[in-house]
Amino acid sequence: MNQETQKKKRFPNDKQHYLLSRGLSLKREELVLSKINKNYYIYRKLTSRHIKIFKQYLSGETLEKIGRKRRLTRERVRQIINSVALYKASEAAKEGRFVIDLKEYLQGMKRMHKLAKKARTKEESTPRVNKPKRWSRYYDYCRICRTTIIPHASHGYCKKCYPKTNIFKELQEASRLRNIEKRREYEKEYSKKYHRRPEVIERKKEYYKRPETIARLKKYRQEYYKRPKVKERIKKYYQRPDVKEKNKERNRERYIKKKRGIY
């Protein structure tokens, strides 16, 4: 199956297909076609009243004002205006005045709304009435102290009470642990890089050659092996079976060497 034959099967009306085929993918074409066909169907229901509404909107009346006059909601008025505009665009395309492109169509709609806004005078546009604010979206007052003066933090608690709750404490601890892990990873990477620097290596060599450091390390070693914990660890090490076998072999070799020395 070629693409053209597929297209012909999908869109039997050649003229429509020709009009829509430029610069649009198959899915886009289908979308636009379906919209236009729907609007043809709507136009059978469209009356002169709908077109009057469209003209009123272009002359500069707001959606609300039109709705109040005709006893319609604002949203319904918007739907009617959009459908009439789409119908007009589709009619123009049918006559061959222009090729429908989705981009062009949307830009045209934008332009239309802009012109309507310009035609509107400042007196006609009604200012929005602000509703009285609730304390929060879902709560009327704090769950603990029942204030409405202190602003809402979260979970229905005010800013003063929220840090006392278990929810906040759990979150805080989790974040603390996360930060410690991050910090340790960062420190590891930094130390690896630090000890590979040539300047640092030279500095270390000089440091370990000093007589003060050598004396200090000697003292440290002597004190280290006197610690009770270290002594226990060493005992445990020599009681291991693999270590015992190693030591046995070594002792045998030493014993043989000694004998040879004597005899």
As measured in angstroms, the least distance from the Cβ of 86 to Zn ion is: 53
Q: Which is nearer to Zn ion, 50 or 152 (CB)?
A: 152
For position 116 contacting Zn ion by CB under 5 A, the verdict is no
Query: With contact defined as beta carbons under 8 Å apart, do 72 and 96 qualify?
Result: no
For position 142 contacting Zn ion by CB under 5 A, the verdict is yes
Q: Which of 31, 145, 214, 230 binds Zn ion (CB under 5 A)?
A: 145
Residues 196-255 that bind Zn ion (CB under 5 A): none
For position 161 contacting Zn ion by CB under 5 A, the verdict is yes
As measured in angstroms, the least distance from the Cβ of 167 to Zn ion is: 14
As measured in angstroms, the least distance from the Cβ of 140 to Zn ion is: 13
For position 144 contacting Zn ion by CB under 5 A, the verdict is yes
Report the candidate in 30, 77, 34, 72 with the shortest Cα–Cα distance to residue 57: 77
The full DSSP string for 88-156 is HHHHHHHHTSS---HHHHHHHHHHHHHHHHHHS-TTTSPPPPPPPPPSSSS-SS-TTT--SSSPEEETT
For position 152 contacting Zn ion by CB under 5 A, the verdict is no
Kindly report the number of other CB atoms within 10 A of residue 129's CB atom.
Answer: 5
What is the rounded CA–CA span in Å between residue 118 and residue 22? 33
Q: Which is nearer to Zn ion, 154 or 172 (CB)?
A: 154
For position 156 contacting Zn ion by CB under 5 A, the verdict is no
SS3 assignment, position 158: strand
Binding positions for Zn ion, rule: CB under 5 A: 142, 144-145, 158, 161
